[in-house]
């Protein structure tokens, strides 16, 4: 065999070895990199790791002035503008704070203070500064996300941002009251009614902080299905919302977004008030919530009111609001 033939044989041999090696070797399969989805940031594990920047708190126009308290607007930016109502006790002093979170109110009938004002006035008369958020899309606040699920999550982040901003409250109070009235930001409680109760539970879980909390008829069924319970009176009986929820369930692990899966994170005393004739939040919901919290050895006190509705009327409101004041005094003063 001549030199050319030998060279050809050698080349073929090397090529065969290379072919066999590559044919028999498993190909490396690269796993696709999971793309972050828009609502991932609202999963409770991610919210717990998030920092919520403080905003200045600016006090605005006075809406009501009584002998023992003043009600006025306040404004914050996260960076979106959010408005709300602050009740300030009259008389020089340093006062504890109650953050108030209302239930659902149709936007077409809403005005600042609806859902919290009556209880807020009672608390202010008893020596507490109360702060009630309008939330995005309400009052004079900026508009929320166009995604109805994200709009819900923005109620949590708005509450969390307000808590981060309380260190700036005295600046706003000083502008209106010349330093005579101050807030004790080391003594902060939370009050939530209905849907606001679920927001309050979410805030307790995400922060893990000791904010003594009073809940009136709290929504406590798993999110997002809890909101379907209230769609009977919608024009389309909830058809559009069910589609939104179905899409959310298809794209996300919903268990990462429901406060019912994170009760173990709560580190605050809770007092719950429930009307036995409530047709918006059934009695059994609060019964089950209390049972769950007790099993987790959480500090929970429970009161029910025979014949009382979702707003603890006609015969439970006065007792409930006084018990709430007593609870805050015990845990904040």
Strand ranges of the sheet holding 93-101, from the earlier edge strand across to the other edge: 58-65, 69-77, 81-89, 129-133, 93-101, 181-193, 213-216, 270-275, 300-305
Strand duo 93-101 + 58-65: pairing: unpaired
- Residue-level pLDDT at 244: 87
pLDDT at 30: 47
Question: Considering only CA atoms, which of 330, 311, 206 is closest in space to residue 261?
Answer: 206
Q: What is the pLDDT of residue 235?
A: 67
pLDDT attached to residue 14: 40
**What pLDDT is recorded for position 241?**
80
pLDDT at 309: 97
Q: Given the DSSP bridges, would you call strands 58-65 and 181-193 parallel, antiparallel or unpaired?
A: unpaired
pLDDT for position 210: 98
pTM of the model as a whole: 0.87
Q: Which residues of the chain have pLDDT under 70?
A: 1-34, 228-238
Please answer whether residues 59 and 148 qualify as being in contact, where contact means their C-beta atoms are separated by less than 8 angstroms: no
Of 272, 282, 289, 271, nearest to 309 by C-alpha is 282
| Superfamily for the 45-332 domain | Alpha/Beta hydrolase fold, catalytic domain (3.40.50.1820)
pLDDT of residue 242: 83
- Please report the pLDDT score of residue 34 as a whole number: 58
132 bridge partner residues: 85, 100
Residue 230 confidence (pLDDT): 63
291 φ, ψ (degrees, to nearest 5): -60, -45
The pLDDT tens digits for 48-83 are: 999 998 999 999 999 999 999 999 999 999 889 999
Q: Residue 257: which of 231, 223, 281, 226 has the closest Cα?
A: 223
């Amino acid at each position: 065999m001549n030199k050319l033939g030998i060279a050809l044989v050698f080349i073929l041999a090397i090529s065969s070895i290379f072919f066999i090696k590559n044919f028999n070797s498993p190909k490396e399969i690269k796993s696709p990199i999971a793309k972050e989805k828009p609502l991932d940031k609202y999963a409770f594990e991610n919210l717990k790791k998030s920092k919520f920047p403080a905003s200045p708190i600016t006090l605005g126009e006075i809406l009501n002035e009584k002998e023992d308290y003043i009600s006025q607007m306040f404004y914050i930016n996260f960076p979106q503008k959010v408005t709300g109502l602050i009740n300030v006790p009259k008389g020089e002093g340093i006062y504890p704070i109650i953050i108030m979170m209302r239930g659902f109110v149709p936007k077409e009938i809403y005005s600042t203070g609806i859902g919290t004002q009556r209880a807020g006035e009672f608390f202010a008369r008893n020596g507490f500064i109360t702060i009630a958020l309008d939330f995005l899309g309400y009052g004079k606040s900026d508009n929320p996300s166009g995604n109805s699920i994200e709009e819900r999550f923005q109620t949590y982040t708005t509450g969390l941002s307000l808590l981060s901003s309380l260190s700036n409250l005295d600046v706003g109070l000083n502008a209106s009251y010349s330093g005579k009235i101050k807030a004790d930001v080391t003594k902060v409680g939370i009050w939530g009614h209905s849907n606001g109760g679920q927001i309050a539970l979410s805030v307790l879980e995400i922060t893990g902080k000791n904010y003594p909390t009073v809940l009136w008829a709290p929504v406590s069924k798993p999110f997002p299905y809890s909101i379907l319970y209230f769609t009977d009176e919608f024009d389309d009986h909830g058809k559009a919302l069910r589609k939104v929820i179905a899409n959310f369930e298809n794209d996300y692990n919903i268990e990462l977004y429901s406060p019912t899966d994170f009760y173990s994170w709560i580190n605050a005393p809770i007092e719950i008030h429930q009307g036995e004739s409530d047709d918006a939040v059934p009695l059994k919901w609060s019964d089950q919530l209390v049972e769950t919290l007790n099993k987790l050895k959480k500090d929970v006190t429970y009161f029910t009111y025979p014949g009382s509705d979702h707003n603890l009327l006609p015969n439970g409101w006065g007792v409930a609001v006084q018990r709430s004041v007593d609870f805050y005094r015990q845990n904040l003063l």
